[in-house]
Amino acid sequence: MSTTVEQPRQFCTLGGQQSVVAIERAIPIVHGGPGCSNKLFSGMAFFNGFQGSGYAGGNAVPGTNSCEKEIVFGGETRLREVIDGALKVMDGDLFVVLTGCTADLVGDDTATVVSEYRERGVPIVHASTGGFKGNNYRGHELVAEAIIDQYLQPAPKVIPNLVNVWSVLPYQDTFWAGNLQAIRQLLEGLGLQVNILFGHDSGGIEAWKKIPAAAFNIVLSPWTGVSIAEKLEQRFGTPYLHYPVLPIGAVETSRFLRSAGEFAHLQSTQVERYIEKQEAYFYHYLDRSADFFMEMRWDLPAQFINISDSFYSLGISRFLVNELGLKPGRQFITDNPPEIFLDGLVNQFATLADKVSAKVTFTHDGGEIAKTLRSEVFDQPPLVIGTSWDRDLAKQIGGYHLSIALPITDRLVLDRAYVGYAGGLRLVEDIYGAVLGTY
């Protein structure tokens, strides 16, 4: 397998910048080359559902724009200038200094510079995110871990039904804003108090300060976020529930809610009552459109292929198999999960449903994906659920296509969610909308 990457679907640890932008009134400060922040804004935000600058993202991000001088003589002075200026110019509650390749390669002591400000009472932390260190899934974790390590204090007491949620990645998941709202609503429906931490109305720094007071953490993710929860358990003794499947549609969402309810020691009748109401809603609409599913199948896709990260590849596979009875083809996972999680993921795909399993390929090289799919034989047009990179490929193999993962340049995304009960209905609409649009 080649190391070359064509059609990138993930980027570098500095991509954690977007996680900072997602925290209300938090401001990233980038200590790196002049182009880094913009490139990542372009790839993770704008040319991905056309998500924009928001409050202080895009071109508002303070940065050192390191040049030859900073490489040769070091960039700590520049960094201090920019932090000083940011504290005067930028109206923010938390500043997160992130390093790019240049700062980390030349060995600037960013940590010390930043800690000097912190000791003076400035709400500022730093994460070492030189791009060559890993991908932006890891970058997201690094940002959270930095805030936890450098800014949070133990809570005087635990708030009994408060739960922190670590789930989809801001911006990387094009539908993150809607998805996180949906998760919050679901858990609130069970009677929990939810610290969703990112996105509109998520509480900014005050919410983050409450993290140590939570009764438990939920990692609603195949793997990203586990290290954050482990750190919180180590530092504050907070237990965590790891639910590895992104819940889309009724079957999975109900399963998730039961799992969360049990972990939270909620009354099962209360949980079941909520689930029942939600399921009635979901199935009402499936019922209403059952004619379509049963009868208008033309060569509506019987087989689906996911080309996305482990959140969606697994979540969508479970949904389509258990809710619509579709058949899984090969699944591609593009977020480079750490070695320790690979077996678990393979197993998840082996047991999608009774008698239904799928083959998985871990790669994020579009060229390899294309080569693999072009050599497969499809007796019916497959459904390709992937990214805008994959549109041509889907056509070449005679299939249908829907973009749901980074990069999405053929859709505008606002607050659409795929997680949850209503989210499952949205996904169904979008899949079949894409198919019908070819007629």
Partner 1 sequence: MTTEIQVTPKSVVRQEPGVTIRERRLGSITGYSGTPDELVKISLAGQLVERERSFTQAGTCSSFCATLQLSLIQDAVVINHAPAGCSGDFPMFNLYNRYGQGKRKLDQTSARLITTNLNEHDTIFGATGKLLEAIHKAYSTYHPRAIFVTASCTSGIIGEDLESTLDEAEEELGIPIASVSCEGFRSQVWATGWDAAYSAILRKIVRPAKIRRPESINIITFIGEDYFSELLRPLGLVPDLIVPFTKIEQLETVSEAGATAQMCSTLGTYFAAGLEKQYGVPEIKSPPPYGLTGTDMWLRELAHITGKDDIVEQFIAAERNAIEPELEKLKKRFAGVKAFVAAGPSHGHSSMEILQDLGMELVGSCMFHHDAKLDHGDPAGDTLRAATTGSGRMTYSVCNKQSFELVNLLRRLKPDLVIVRHPSLAVSVAKLGIPACFVDDEHLGLGYRGLIRYGKKIADWFRNPAIERNLSRHSALPYTRWWLEQQPFSMLGGEV
Partner 2 sequence: MALVNLANSNIQTREQRLGSIIAYEGTAADLGQRSREGRLHDRTRSFTQVSSCASDCSICLLSLIQDAAVVNHAPLGCAADFSMFNLTNRYGQFKRGITPANAHLVSSNLTETDTIFGGIAKLEQAVRDARERFNPKAIFVTASCASAITGEDIDAASDALEIELGIPVVAVHCEGFRSKVWTTGFDVAYHAILRKIVKPPQTKHPEIVNIITFWGDDVFTELFSRLGLVANLIVPFANIERISRLSESGATVQMCSTLGTYLAAGLESLYGVPEVKAPPPYGLAGTDAWLRALGRVTHKETEVEELIASEHEAIAPELAELRKELKDLTGYVAAGSVHGHSLASVLRELGLNVAGSCFWHHDPKFDNQDPAADSLQHVVKTYGDFPVSICNKQSYEVVNQLRRFKPDVFIVRHPGMAVWGGKLGIPTFLVEDEHFGLAYRGLLRFGHKIADAVNNPSFYQHLAKHTRLPYTDWWLRQGSTAFLGAEE
Q: Which 66-85 residues touch partner 2, going by CB under 8 A?
A: 66-68, 70-71, 81-82, 84-85
Task: Indicate which single residue of 3, 153, 269, 438 sits in contact with partner 1 (rule: CB under 8 A).
Answer: 438
Site for partner 2 in 41-70 (CB under 8 A): 41-44, 46-48, 52-53, 55-56, 58-68, 70
- Spatial separation of the C-alpha atoms in residues 37 and 47, rounded to whole Å: 14
Binding mask 155-194 for partner 2 (x = CB under 8 A): ----------------------------------------
Distance CA(108)–CA(75), nearest Å, equals: 6
Residues 6+ positions from 198 with CB-CB distance below 8 Å: 19, 22, 23, 170, 176, 180
- Enter the tokens of residue 326: 């579709």
Among 89, 159, 353, 436, contact with partner 2 (rule: CB under 8 A): 89
Q: For partner 1, how many residues bind (rule: CB under 8 A)?
A: 31
Site for partner 1 in 170-229 (CB under 8 A): none
> Which of partner 2, partner 1, none binds 299 (CB below 5-8 Å, type-dependent)?
partner 1
Q: What is the DSSP string of 147-213?
A: HHHHH----SS--TTEEEEE-SPBTTBTTHHHHHHHHHHHHHHTT-EEE--SSTTS-HHHHHHTGGG
Euclidean distance between CA atoms 439 and 13, whole angstroms: 42
CB 2 within 8 A of CB 368: yes
Q: Is 280 in the site for partner 1 (CB under 8 A)?
A: yes
Q: Determine how many CB atoms are found less than 10 A away from the CB of residue 331.
A: 25
Tell me how many residues contact partner 2 (CB under 8 A).
76
Among 40-48, 223-231, 257-265, 288-296, which window interacts with partner 2 (CB under 8 A)? 40-48
Contact residue for partner 1 among 1, 294, 340, 377 (CB under 8 A): 294
Binding letters toward partner 2, positions 112-131, x by CB under 8 A = -------------------x
What does 280 bind: partner 2, partner 1, none (CB cut-off 5 to 8 Å by kind)? partner 1
353 binds, among partner 1, partner 2, none (CB under 5 to 8 A by kind): partner 1
Q: Which of residues 232-261 bind partner 1 (CB under 8 A)?
A: 250-251
317 contacts partner 2 (rule: CB under 8 A) = no
The pair of three-digit structure tokens given for residue 271, joined into one six-digit string: 């949980």
Per CB under 8 A, which of residues 259..278 are in contact with partner 2?
none
Token readout for 339 is 């070695």
How many angstroms separate the CA atoms of 261 and 243, rounded?
12
How, if at all, do strands 327-328 and 303-308 pair?
parallel
Residue 93, classed as helix, strand or coil, is coil
Q: Does 290 bind partner 1 (CB under 8 A)?
A: yes
Near partner 2 by CB under 8 A: residue from 10, 99, 179, 195: 10
- Is residue 429 a contact point for partner 1 (CB under 8 A)? no
Tokens of residue 400, six digits: 């249908």
Cis peptide before 407 (omega within 30 of 0): yes
Q: Are 127 and 142 in contact (CB under 8 A)?
A: yes
Tell me which DSSP letter residue 386 carries.
Answer: E
d(CA 244, CA 314): 9
Q: What residues numbered 312-341 form the site for partner 1, per CB under 8 A?
A: 321-325, 327
Q: What is the rounded radius of gyration, in angstroms, for the C-alpha atoms of the chain?
A: 22
Based on the shown chain and the rule CB under 8 A, indicate whether residue 403 belongs to the binding site for partner 2: no
Instruction: Kindly tell me which of 89 and 280 has the beta carbon lying closer to partner 1.
Output: 280
Interatomic CA distance for residues 46 and 38, integer angstroms:
10
The rounded distance, in Å, linking the Cα atoms of 317 and 321 is 6
Q: How far is the CB of 95 from partner 2 (least distance, A)?
A: 12
Using CB under 8 A, list all residues that contact partner 1.
250-251, 279-280, 283-284, 286-287, 290-291, 293-299, 302, 321-325, 327, 353-356, 379, 438-439
